[in-house]
Chains A and B, each alone.
Chain A
């Protein structure tokens, strides 16, 4: 392979570029990214960056020294608009083309929007530019903030806004937020964090529409209520960025379909990170985006699937001063048992808690709130395929 093009210049794209060099690829390396910025880290955008506790310099994923070492051509601020797999060409938005032998698709996902998103005061939170705009508005005095969506990003954003002294309401269409991720029992416990943080949580009602002519003035709920708002943050999930691949012959269905080794139907095209549906599942987790590139690049350079990746899903979230960590694969039929700490006033104890999800006497997943040590132990055991219960006995 003489040229490899990485499309998407963020977390998984950078890790792919690193892996290409680490695994001995010494040909031409091109990285295409539609954002004007060098790779930066997204998780802090809803956390310390939004509250002002950390600045832009702390978001950088790489430095000048590494950039020199990687010896890549960075085409930033330009979108890939097509992939001609036959002609082995990446088509760019400005009309240029890149001839390439191999392609790493790392285009991630975009924030899902609502009609009315163009009103002033309405935000999504996916990019640095989004976060800058929201941070600036939050700095202009106390506001009434409505966060639509009680998922992780919604909850973290609500927590950061409350921490800055704003008056915050979270609207969640489901009866409880985070049920798909945590199951009903633990979702209920984590929902208690909002209350503890002084944030109103309105559940079980969708949003009918946004009110306002130039700037947003309120959020109209499906049950007829109107929540006055100066700032609305829409946190209703993300859509994988596959538009540019339409007509490329690659199979697309909620992501780029690939096998367990991140390889698409074409051996010279692999996909990683939030955009990749690897072996049937698409994760939107930081750790998957950093783990998949090693295997994807190995397979790309080998020309076939030489190695597969099935890492244990892991994610964390910081909200209201609590650190939530989750690892494993749970099913709705799993039972859940708190093995350390507990619940006070329907929220995690001040000292946190550890909960194990179990199926047929085996541990399938683990949740921790502020219990990093036992969580790490449990996560490692899960990763090894040993049940936590067995490990405790031996």
Chain B
């Protein structure tokens, strides 16, 4: 769990980038908070600098659009999803729970063995 900023400092329509590896972008889309990997899956651009409209963010370089709820691109040129992360607010503080790829992989493997 990573503290991001105070909720007051992330008003609706705004975004912040946190310098994790890889970096993560946190958005306030009309009051709903979302976190996704910050780097566009197309090439090298920061989605926290993108254009936020509803639950969609448009990449500032070649205008691929991502759905913040699923991380999936809704148009070209991006074809791969960005990872999404869970966001919580405790005591007015925004936190991101980084989706662990390792854990996800282990879970998938376990499912595979169980099946």
Interface residues, chain A, CB within 8 Å of chain B? 18, 43-44, 48, 61, 63, 66, 286-287, 290, 316, 323, 325, 372-373, 375-377, 380
Contacts and interface: CB of A to CB of B under 8 A. Distances in A.
A349 B114 CA distance: 58
Contact of A373 (B44, B60, B62): B60
B28 to A, nearest CB: 15
B61 A316 contact: yes
Contacts of A373: 49, 60
Given A48-B44, A63-B79, 8 more contacts: A18-B76, A43-B43, A44-B43, A316-B61, A323-B61, A372-B45, A372-B60, A373-B60
B77 interface: yes
B60 to A, nearest CB: 4
Contact of A287 (B45, B51, B58, B62): B62
A72 B79 CA distance: 20
A63 B46 CA distance: 24
B43 A376 contact: no
Contacts of B73: none
A128 B33 CA distance: 42
B71 interface: no
25 contacts: A18-B76, A43-B43, A44-B43, A48-B43, A61-B77, A63-B79, A286-B62, A287-B63, A290-B62, A290-B76, A290-B77, A323-B61, A325-B60, A325-B61, A372-B45, A372-B46, A372-B49, A372-B60, A372-B61, A373-B49, A376-B49, A376-B51, A376-B58, A376-B60, A380-B51
A44 to B, nearest CB: 7
Interface of B: 43-46, 49-51, 58, 60-63, 76-77, 79
Contacts of A63: 79
Contacts of B77: 61, 290
Contacts of A48: 43-44
A56 to B, nearest CB: 15
A380 B79 CA distance: 24
Contacts of B46: 372
A230 B49 CA distance: 41
A376 B65 CA distance: 14
A134 B95 CA distance: 46
A203 to B, nearest CB: 29
Contacts of B45: 372
Contact of B60 (A61, A287, A375): A375
A369 to B, nearest CB: 13
Nearest to B80: A63
A382 to B, nearest CB: 14
Contacts of A380: 51
A391 B51 CA distance: 16
Contacts of A375: 60
B44 A376 contact: no
Q: Which of B50, B60, B77, B79 has the most CB of A within 10 A?
A: B60
Contacts of B43: 43-44, 48
Nearest to A377: B51
A323 B40 CA distance: 15
A376 B50 contact: yes
Contacts of B62: 286-287, 290
Contacts of A287: 62-63
Q: Which of B61, B76, B79 has the most CB of A within 10 A?
A: B61
A327 B87 CA distance: 35
A121 to B, nearest CB: 30
B46 to A, nearest CB: 7
B103 to A, nearest CB: 27
A377 B51 CA distance: 8
A316 B60 CA distance: 11
Q: Which of A18, A286, A372, A375 has the most CB of B within 10 A?
A: A372
A380 B51 CA distance: 10
Contacts of A43: 43
A347 to B, nearest CB: 22
Nearest 7 interchain pairs by C-beta: A372-B60, A372-B49, A373-B49, A376-B51, A376-B60, A316-B61, A44-B43
A61 B43 CA distance: 12
A323 B43 CA distance: 13
A260 B36 CA distance: 39
A48 B46 CA distance: 16
Contacts of B50: 376
